[in-house]
A and B are shown apart, each in its own frame.
Chain A
Amino acid sequence: MELLLAITAGALYAAGLYLLLRRRLAQLIVGLGLLTNGTNILIFTSGGLTRSIPPVVPEGSETLEPPFADPVPQSLILTAIVIGFGVLAFTLVLAHQVHRLNGSDDLGDSG
């Protein structure tokens, strides 16, 4: 499972970086989105994968015995998703503005 997720994250990074190198804004924005999601998967994977062990103290017990899922990476990802979403919305508006001013979403044409 780790291997699969690692390859997915790598593929998302590669695709995202490739799209960032394009001149068209639509592709650039998709690239940014892919990069953000690749990072989220990377955090998720490197935080350690566990299956069906929520970090909850079982009934009748006082402490939480390892192994259990680490909640911190998930909260980090949650924050990163929200920030990524806001920034993506901003870049979309900016791209719309470029398109309105230039009639093209090619950054090379806007000079």
Chain B
Amino acid sequence: MASHLILPIALPMLTGALMLFISNRHCQRWVAFAGACALLASAIAVAVTVHTDGIQVLHAGSWAAPFGIVLVADRLSSILLVAVGVVGVAATAFAFAGVDPRRESAGYHPVMMVLMMGVSGAFLTGDLFNLYVWFEVMLVASFVLMALYRNRTQIRAAFTYVTLNLLASTILLTVLGLLYGKTGTLNLADLSQQWSTGDLPPLHLPMGALFFTAFGIKAALFPWFSWLPASYHAPPAAVAAIFAGLLTKVGVYSMFRVFTLLFRDVPPSAPSFVLLLSVVTMVVGVTCALTQRDLRRVLSFNLVGHIGFTTMGLGLATSAGLAGSLLYVFHHILAITNLYLIAGIFLRMRRTSELDRLGSMYRAHPYVSLLALVPLFALAGVPPLSGAIAKIALVQAAFAAGAYWAGGIALLVSLLSLLSIARVWDAAFWKPAPEDPPPALPSWKQLVPIGGLTALTLAFTVAAGPLTELTTTIASDLLEPDAYIRAVLDETE
């Protein structure tokens, strides 16, 4: 029994509860930061035990699986938990540079903790209904963060976001109802075992389609991505950063988990459908990014486009494809979180993120600009930065799987993405500003988390070898889930 698996969920919850008793805003920031650091530490501890002792399972209340709820940490979950910790630490550190005081007194920090708890729970759980509950925890927290003390654009954005995400949750709940009716269990390992030994139940294709729709909405895949660009440009920088870094990835993770565990023997047409949608998502997202005139909207559409890369591996349905996609997920979490934080610098210094009104950043603050250059070019996939490594892995996998068209389009999209990022660099950093910018200095409190994430992006390149090895192992774990099933079902305590 691995009791420490509860920590990544319990620590943010306790921190959030503790903060309700603290009225001093400065104190709250420190407690939030300490909570996020504790979350990161516990996530690293889980990752280390998973690495040394294999898959960790916690049967809640010592109820044997499949009757109770299980928390499972395998390599994939534990690495993603570490990513939650890193993004959480960066976002809470960013709050030291200042949050809208009304927002802060209305419970900004506690809700942020609830959001992290929801994301950690979703990564850890081994039970589908529990996954739905974590989705709701995460969503309600994100709804509140999006709608806390808002202006007109924010509230409009909030409504689009709320409606589509609630629809996704309803669809997920619907498929869970059907699934329980057919199989009598919602434990992932148990379902996987039943489906691999016996015949697939009737309705398994509609169920797969419903799962894909529900997770596709959360992950912002084409044709369900419209809520993301409509809403992510509105909230403050740290909130948008944590949303962009983590929330869509939860959808992608759930897809990986459910489709590799449950739908192992689907007809080959299903993955090629996923591949097609991924490729369309890339093309649509990145071409839309080219037409945008606002930094945060460019980032939102790039986020959508790059989600296509993270699901492409699932469509290729090969070990190399999954490994490439996972590499992409890790790279993308670091880069996109950082870029939304950088948009926060512009909001603070120039009071806008419209590209037409920005400029002269490089001349005024060359070192800050260089800090921003790394994640921007990493996102665009300029070698030797992290994006290029992940893209090369994916395109190679596509060619190896014979999906030359997908690999070709992915390369073309990378080029378009580079074009849109180069436009951002030109408009925001290089060109002379249309009016003299206010002589504001970037706050070092904002630069520290950005610098940290930039350093991690650079470290990604240095550690590319071990990371590729790790994702390859995770991919083969995903394709051979017997160890996962045994760990959950066989442990007798």
* A107 and B140 contact, CB distance less than 8 A: no
Q: Does B147 contact A (CB under 8 A)?
A: yes
B156 touches A73 (CB 8 A): no
Q: How far is the CA of A81 from the CA of B133 in the complex (A)?
A: 12
Size bin of chain B's contact surface: 20 to 34
> Is B3 an interface residue when CB atoms closer than 8 A count as contact?
no
Q: Are B173 and A43 in contact (CB under 8 A)?
A: yes
Residues on A close to B: CB < 8 A?
Answer: 20, 25, 28, 32, 35-36, 39, 42-43, 45-48, 70, 72-73, 76, 79-80, 83, 86-87, 90-91, 94-95, 97-98, 101-102, 107, 110-111
Among B147, B159, B163, B174, the residue within 8 A (CB) of A39 is B174
Nearest residue (CB) in A for B129 is A76
- List CB contacts (< 8 Å) of B151-184 with chain A: 152, 155-156, 158-159, 162-163, 166-167, 170, 173-174, 176-178, 180-182, 184
Instruction: Tell which of A28, A76, A87, A111 touches B156, judged by Cβ atoms closer than 8 Å.
Output: A111
Distance of A87 from chain B, by nearest CB (Å) = 6
- Chain A residue at smallest Cβ distance from B158: A94
Complex Cα–Cα for A25 and B159 (A): 9
Number of A-B contacts defined by CB within 8 Å: 80
Cβ-defined contact, A46 with B155, below 8 A: no
Question: Which A residues are CB-close (under 8 A) to B178?
Answer: 42, 46
Contact pick for A98, options B143, B159, B167, B177, CB 8 Å: B159
B477 surroundings in chain A (CB, below 8 A): none
**Cβ contact within 8 Å between B143 and A48:** no
Q: Are A94 and B180 in contact (CB under 8 A)?
A: no
A36 and B170 within 8 A (CB): yes
Task: Determine which of A87, A95, A102 lies in contact with B136 in the assembled complex, contact meaning CB atoms within 8 Å.
Answer: A87
In the complex the two chains form, what is the Cα distance from A87 to B165 in whole Å?
11
Chain B CB count within 10 A is highest, among A47, A70, A98, for A98
State the CA gap A43–B152 with chains docked (Å).
38
Q: Which residues of A contact B177 (CB under 8 A)?
A: 39, 42-43, 46-47, 73, 76
**A36, A83, A91: the one within 8 Å of B162 (CB):** A91
Q: B136 contacts which chain A residues (CB < 8 A)?
A: 83, 87
Known: A32-B163, A80-B173. A43 touches B180 (CB 8 A): yes
